[in-house]
Amino acid sequence: MERLFAQHACREKIELSPMWLLKTEDAGGLEKPEKALVPSVWESHPRLRNYRGRAAYTQTFTGGGNLLFRFGGVSFRAKVFLNDVLLGEHMDAFTGFSVLAKGIEEGTHTVRVAVDNRFGPDAALHVPNDYYSYGGINRPVTVERVPDIFLTALYAVPECKDGTWQVHVTVTGRNVSGEDGTCTVRLFLGDAHWEEDVRFPAGEEHSVRFTLSCPEVQVWSPETPVLYTIRACLAKDGEVTDDLIERFGFREVRILGNRILLNGQPLFLRGFNRHEELGAFGVSVPVEGMMRDLQLMRELGANCVRTCHYPNDPRFLDLCDELGMLVWEESHARGMNEEKMRNPAFMPQLRTSTREMVVQHINHPSIFIWGCLNECADDTVYGEACYREILDLLRSLDPSRPVTAALLRRPGSRIFDAPDVVSINTYPQWYHNASVREDIDDKLVEIRKKGGMGKPIIISEIGGGAIYGFHDPLGEAKWSEERQATILRTQLEAILSHEALSGVFLWQFADVRVDESWAMSRPRTMNNKGIVDEYRRPKAAYSVVRELFHSL
């Protein structure tokens, strides 16, 4: 199941067995090929827990025609072969991609995915980091049989104009034949339908736009997460040849002065930073685990989640749409200094991650803000230019949502004027001993002085660590559950009573694995700042957060 709803009513899907054959190629791997479930990361295999290298996943299936292979995510270099012919490649674990095999004869075929999670200069975003870069096919794979002209995207962006809702729809089709072709594009939304004859030039992708007026709709909100289904069809000589189904919601996010408005009402964000990771499953989180995380967050009184530091599985976003959980989604990049940002591969890969995130996730009503470039070199001239470019790219890809970036906790940022919402990561009481109120007030002075005056401000990270099960009778020792609970209480009380702030994302929801190079400052080679551990066992801070989030 790659989504929580069917994306096609008429396109033929070729069922692949979830059981693939995995063969590793480097030291520390398997001696013999073994069966492996897809999706999953190879680190979930007890012998591959620390394997960093190359591997191949193979699978046979029966089918033919134009075959579209869609990958939700491969961590983190992928090359896809059909019967040993290279179809395409992709870099980065956190966005989907597809490859097409044209005019394949009916029969039994072998698909092979060569995966590589070794670090290297060609991988500018996947670097040894304060989270783990896993190996494997981490999100679902589908194979579909498509006609020569088929649908590749359906965007539905709602707008409330003079009190009336409309939705701007873009339907994109691709013609993979050698000749221009004309199809009827039909759109269905509720009881209404629209259609237009469209010419698709040979060998190209072509889009057509509709603005649909929707006078009577139910608005999506965290309390009433009402979703609408829209279906686009292609028809030829009266017969439907392809279709694509998407879900969206009618809701509006606006910035008014220093407040973020959702459907005209000011938002106060109470949320968590959540890495896409669950215990031994690593970054390949089963959908049941995603749902449970969201249930825990709701139980804790949260209304939002930040997908630090990369785009998430669309199934997680589907669940957020369903449950009314607001999402800050950000493209991939964490903690890059100027040297890393100057890697020639950095900006091209970041642009791709940003573009793929927005075009793949634009329909999710739960996403209320786009983010980028967590704690990179926003205090240097070069870094500033990168931030400005990516924030502008986000705006140009989707003018309907505000943009932000979680900035360094040290002073000197050059870009407080650039985002629509200013977001700050700070760890008073954990990394430094300042009073929380004074620490935040100092930062507010700096933000206002340097171009952020009048904008909404969010604390995008704050927290402290605890090792699950480590108790200090005096409650004073760092890494004890008691000390973490005290720190979070002090931090949250200061933030929740601060009139100038628009919300907080606690760092972090659950403990996560980190790269070994971080081990000396990260006991257990984990980032232990979760209020639950990697298996979601609550620490003492859990009930503190629940009490304070619910007190609002």
Q: Rule CB under 6 A: which residues touch ligand ADA?
A: 130, 334-335, 374-375, 425, 461, 507, 527, 529
- The identity of residue 98, as a single letter, is S
Name which of 144 and 329 has its Cβ closer to ligand ADA: 329
- The conformation of residue 120, written as its DSSP 8-state character, comes to -
DSSP per position, 252-268: -EEEETTEEEETTEEP-
Name which of 309 and 414 has its Cβ closer to ligand ADA: 309
Write down the least CB distance from residue 66 to ligand ADA, Å: 42
* Two structure tokens written together for 30: 């398997």
* 508 prior amide bond cis, ω within 30: yes
- Answer for the pair 1, 313: CB distance below 8 angstroms, yes or no: no
Write down the least CB distance from residue 541 to ligand ADA, Å: 14
Return the percent helix, strand and coil in the chain, to nearest 5: 20, 40, 40
- The identity of residue 87, as a single letter, is L
Integer distance in angstroms from the first to the last C-alpha of the chain?
A: 37
Write down the least CB distance from residue 90 to ligand ADA, Å: 24
Write down the least CB distance from residue 492 to ligand ADA, Å: 17
CB crowding 319-331: b at 16 or more within 10 Å, else e: bbbbebbbbbbbb
Strand bridging mode 457-461 / 421-425? parallel
- The conformation of residue 219, written as its DSSP 8-state character, comes to B
Write down the least CB distance from residue 301 to ligand ADA, Å: 22
Half-sphere exposure of 140 (CA within 13 A, CB side): 15
User: Which residue's C-beta sits nearest to ligand ADA?
Assistant: 130
Write down the least CB distance from residue 437 to ligand ADA, Å: 20
504 by DSSP, 3-state: which?
A: strand
Name which of 114 and 492 has its Cβ closer to ligand ADA: 492
Write down the least CB distance from residue 489 to ligand ADA, Å: 19
Name which of 362 and 406 has its Cβ closer to ligand ADA: 406
Name which of 167 and 372 has its Cβ closer to ligand ADA: 372
Half-sphere exposure of 100 (CA within 13 A, CB side): 17
Residue with tokens 């069966």: 35
Name which of 93 and 101 has its Cβ closer to ligand ADA: 93
54 by DSSP, 3-state: which?
A: strand
Non-local (6+) Cβ contacts of 385 within 8 A are none
Write down the least CB distance from residue 114 to ligand ADA, Å: 30
Write down the least CB distance from residue 374 to ligand ADA, Å: 5
With CA atoms as reference, report the closest residue to 124 among 352, 307, 357.
352
Name which of 309 and 361 has its Cβ closer to ligand ADA: 309
Identify the helix (H) or strand (E) that includes residue 547.
Answer: helix 541-550
* Two structure tokens written together for 276: 């896409």
Name which of 116 and 330 has its Cβ closer to ligand ADA: 330
Name which of 90 and 529 has its Cβ closer to ligand ADA: 529
Name which of 45 and 274 has its Cβ closer to ligand ADA: 274
Write down the least CB distance from residue 351 to ligand ADA, Å: 21
